[in-house]
Amino acid sequence: MIENFEPRIVGFLCNWCSYAGADLAGTSRLSYPPNIRIVRVPCSGRVDPLFVMRALRDGADGVLVLGCHPGDCHYSDGNYHARRRFAIMHELLSFVGYEPERVRVDWVSASEGARFARVVNEFTEAVRSLGPVRRLGAQSATAPAQAAALRPAAARAGETPGPGQTGQLPELAAKLLAEGQVDVVLGWEKGSVRERPLFASTAEQAARLIVPEDPSASLNLATYLHHLHGKKAALVVKPADARAVNVLIKEGQLKREDVVLIGLGGEGGRGPLPASAYDFVLGEPPVLSDASVTAPLLDEMESWPVAQRAAFWDAQFNKCERCYACRQACPMCYCAECLSEQLNPAWQSIAIEAPEQAFFHVMRAFHMAGRCTGCNACSNACPEGIPLYLLNQKVAREVARFFGPDGLKGTGYQAGLSADVALPFTVFTKDELAGGHS
Amino acid sequence: MNQEIISRQELSRWLESLLPGYTVIAPVHREDRDVFAVIGSTGEVAWDAGRTANPAKEFFFPASETIVRWRTGPAGLQVEAPLATRPQVLFGARPCDGMALDVLDRLLLADPADPYYKARRDATTVVGWACGGEHPGGGPFEGCFCETVGGGPADRRFLDVLLTRHGDDYAIDAVTEKGRQLLSGAKTEPRDLPAVTPAHAADDIVGAVLRDRPQPVLQMPPPTEWRAQFDAAFWTELAQRCLGCRTCTYDCPVCYCFDVRDRALPDGTIERLRCWDSCQGMQCFAIAGGHNPRPTQAARQRQRYMHKFLYYPEREGVALCVGCGRCVVDCPVNIDIREVIAAIAAGATAAERVPA
């Protein structure tokens, strides 16, 4: 611990309860450390985890988010949403190398001046004992020479679809086009240096369609659905891609009848999805497997000390040039303006340097919560080979730990198993995640 | 007449001797690839490296650069322009990496010269490796096509020293005075190499690469043909699969677009930054008021190739491309600049013009 270290603490306080609680602490002459700088917000539900990430990046040693007790929200449910978001964000921050004790979410009512003083005291001392925050990405570490080990497990296993499928695809595509069922078939063709997406709108083009050699190493063609301008498309998909389409339908980005799904046999991404989820299935029906998130490296990293994870990600983020291939390849990244490039407010600098890359990747991973279906398109698109899938799988794992298959209280949520299931950040259960999350 | 050669051991020793006085950039092996990086000792040099994954651009024109920073303190306003250069040696550059510097020089050193680029350019001596030969990492490499844009595997014109690997030794061609001076401490020896004429050793050693190419060299259509194809439907088709990422431009040795913006640091310092920008980004051309003159990916893809093969040749006399092939191998959706050149050369899309 650095001697005379005075931590800088940013507090986001809900206007109705916690800010009034702080006021009461003051008028009651209760003392609490002056390290906290208070930002008054209308509701803890207004506190985007982006604010917390930015405070940490800009040198806050700790961030305290205080709201009304669950059940007492003046907007009825803002704090329930905040509680869900921060349950996930907290785990993500710890995974990328921030000590979990640097962020605390708690509840303080307007009558709890004493509680406010106690929370601030406890938190300040906890952060003081941690020492100054480290700047994520600031350590210019070199990545370990184990690139192969960083790839998603499925890609290493080299899963390939069942035999005898390649012949069927051009025929099926030509038929769909000829019958006017679709305007375009999005699939794959042989390229000059790698397989590449093909937009087949004629029988001649359809004849070039192939089944990718290793679907788990491919991109996700659903990312192109945002640019079709009303054209009806058939899409060659692995299970994770079809699930991504389900999420997009749930998010109102397209209708099921606008897209024809041609499922690849084999697993080719983490399942499961019944054959009925596709309009056509090539070869053997997709394998229905245990849907648990398997990532040996992720298991290992969870057992590492936080500083080791920080060093790991520093090395990875130092490789990043923010070319945005990950974001562009992701079907879930369809915002018209990404927070990373937004000008007003400018959340990020244009600087191509590791702390900015870290900020971008952490926020992108958070935005994948309950949405990422594990297609690995981001990792597969990254020209630097950064294992971004680990961030997404970590988030998916935490989502499954906190939320049930229907999106409510429980465990085992998986994104995109159907287009009817609620997105976890749009719903809540009152008696979940009890006791705040800190 | 004998050819001056230097053994690997002596070359390494010479490079080591430069380390105290120079920042030495050389190919090193990182993870599963070779990259240009600043080395701390010659033990790091990847002698069998192929084409590096990154171009050498960042050592002349960094991805992010602080142009000026200022803050107000007790002593009033403090302004600092932190351009500091140290003599540097770019070792292991390929002829196309050298050519990239010439291509950039034409724009960035023309009056008014870019002071940041110029300072680093002046401080740099480029020691190149000829491509080709039997050894590992000899090249040519996947996707590369330097002859199409006027380069070649033994092109010495834009290097200060050209080294050509011959077994475990290197034939030396000190091209410029700067190169000769840098080599003054190197322990070389004359040797009679059969079938090698000292005046063009590199050509004799690696020239077979050119001669033995199976397919005819891709021909570059003239700028006029690019202009004629401006409205071709080809661009829309090409851009369909483009993701709109920046990989091709950031990995390009000659793409030089940048953006300048200020940022406030937590300690109150304001920095003016110059950072790489990319014509493939959605917002690159957006102007005040929200208008974007190149609103589609097709327009942005077309801009990339028109800039390289029409506008730049018209202004600077050379293509804004050195045929290194990095964009070819790095594009996640395999947009292949060679196919674009071939398509324009074939004029195949002339019949499919769409109105502007």
Domains and CATH numbers, chain A: 9-130 (3.40.50), 147-154+291-426 (no CATH), 155-281 (no CATH)
- For A122, counting Cβ atoms within 10 Å of its Cβ (0-12 exposed, 13-18 middle, 19+ buried), the class is middle
- Rounded distance, CA A236 to CA A68, Å? 48
Q: A88-97, A264-273, B242-251: which range is least confident on average? A: A264-273
Alpha-helical (H) ranges within chain B are 8-18, 95-108, 115-122, 177-182, 201-211, 223-228, 234-240, 247-250, 297-306, 312-316, 326-330, 337-346
B240 close contact with A: CB closer than 8 A? yes
pLDDT at A157: 37
Contact (Cβ atoms closer than 8 angstroms) between residue A433 and residue A414: no
Closest-CA residue to A427 (of A436, A410, A66, A435)? A410
Going by pLDDT thresholds of 50, 70 and 90, the confidence category of residue A153 is low
Q: pLDDT tens, A158-182?
A: 344 444 445 689 999 999 999 999 9
- Give the type of residue at B239: A
A272 close contact with B: CB closer than 8 A? no
- Predicted confidence (pLDDT) at residue A1 exceeds the cutoff of 90: no
- Rounded distance, CA B47 to CA A29, Å? 71
A229 close contact with B: CB closer than 8 A? no
- Predicted confidence (pLDDT) at residue A155 exceeds the cutoff of 70: no
pLDDT at B322: 98
pLDDT at B139: 82
Q: How far is CA A45 from CA A57, A236, A330, A339, B209, in A?
A: 21, 39, 27, 19, 65
Nearest CA in chain B to A334: B243
A344 close contact with B: CB closer than 8 A? no
Measured between beta carbons, the chain A residues lying within 8 angstroms of B243 are: 223, 325, 328-329, 381
pLDDT at A163: 42
A132 close contact with B: CB closer than 8 A? no
Pairing type for strands B33-38 and B23-30 reads: antiparallel
CA angle A249, A251, A252 (to 5 degrees): 65
First to last CA, chain B: 62
Q: How many CB atoms lie within 10 A of CB B168?
A: 10
A240 close contact with B: CB closer than 8 A? no
Beta pairing partners, B80: B69
Contact (Cβ atoms closer than 8 angstroms) between residue A123 and residue A104: yes
B262 close contact with A: CB closer than 8 A? no
Q: How many CB atoms lie within 10 A of CB A258?
A: 16
pLDDT at B136: 86
Q: Rg of chain A over CA atoms, in angstroms?
A: 24
Structure tokens at B198: 């000292």
Beta carbons of B259 and A350 less than 8 Å apart = yes
DSSP state of A209: -
Distance from CA of A143 to the nearest CA of B (A): 7
Closest-CA residue to A65 (of A76, A55, A74)? A55
- Chain position carrying tokens 């092939």: B325
| pLDDT (average), residues A227-237 | 93
HSE on the CB side for A13, CA within 13 Å? 23
Beta carbons of A323 and B246 less than 8 Å apart = yes
- Rounded distance, CA B355 to CA A166, Å? 38
Going by pLDDT thresholds of 50, 70 and 90, the confidence category of residue A275 is confident
Pairing type for strands B88-93 and B124-129 reads: parallel
Looking at per-residue pLDDT, the higher value among A239 and A41 belongs to A41
Nearest CA in chain B to A217: B332
pLDDT tens digits in sequence order for chain B, 356 residues long = 578 999 999 999 999 999 999 999 999 999 889 999 999 999 999 999 999 999 999 999 999 999 999 999 888 999 998 888 899 999 999 999 999 999 999 999 999 999 999 999 999 999 999 998 778 888 889 999 999 999 999 999 999 999 999 888 999 999 999 999 999 999 999 888 777 777 777 888 776 666 666 667 899 999 999 999 999 999 999 999 999 999 999 999 999 999 999 999 888 899 999 999 999 998 889 888 889 999 999 999 999 999 999 999 999 999 999 999 999 999 999 999 999 999 999 985 444 444 43
Which ipTM did the prediction report?
A: 0.92
Pairing type for strands A36-41 and A184-189 reads: unpaired
- Rounded distance, CA B222 to CA A254, Å? 44
Beta carbons of A224 and B278 less than 8 Å apart = no
HSE on the CB side for A157, CA within 13 Å? 16
pLDDT at A205: 96
Pairing type for strands B161-166 and B169-174 reads: antiparallel
The minimal CB distance from B266 to the residues A59, A199, A324 is found for A59
The minimal CB distance from A351 to the residues B33, B273, B332 is found for B273
Distance from CA of A405 to the nearest CA of B (A): 32
pTM of the entire predicted model = 0.93
Q: How far is CA B195 from CA B34, B192, B223, in A?
A: 32, 9, 40
Break chain B into its structural domains and give their ranges: 3-211, 223-352
Measured between beta carbons, the chain A residues lying within 8 angstroms of B287 are: none
pLDDT at A141: 61
pLDDT at A151: 67
Nearest CA in chain B to A60: B266
Sheet holding A62-67, edge to edge: A36-41, A9-14, A62-67, A103-107
pLDDT at A438: 45
pLDDT at B208: 64
pLDDT at B353: 44
Distance from CA of A255 to the nearest CA of B (A): 21
The minimal CB distance from A328 to the residues B29, B244, B275 is found for B244
pLDDT at A166: 54
Distance from CA of B157 to the nearest CA of A (A): 30
Q: A24-33, A211-220, A306-315: which range is least confident on average? A: A211-220
Average pLDDT, chain A: 89
The minimal CB distance from A325 to the residues B245, B335, B336 is found for B245
- Rounded distance, CA B51 to CA B69, Å? 36
| pLDDT (average), residues A373-390 | 93
- Rounded distance, CA B163 to CA B171, Å? 6
Plot region of B335 (φ>0 → left; ψ -120 to 50 → alpha; else → beta):
beta
Structure tokens at A409: 């209280």
pLDDT at B82: 86
Looking at per-residue pLDDT, the higher value among A418 and B201 belongs to A418
CA angle B104, B106, B109 (to 5 degrees): 85
Contact (Cβ atoms closer than 8 angstroms) between residue B33 and residue B27: no
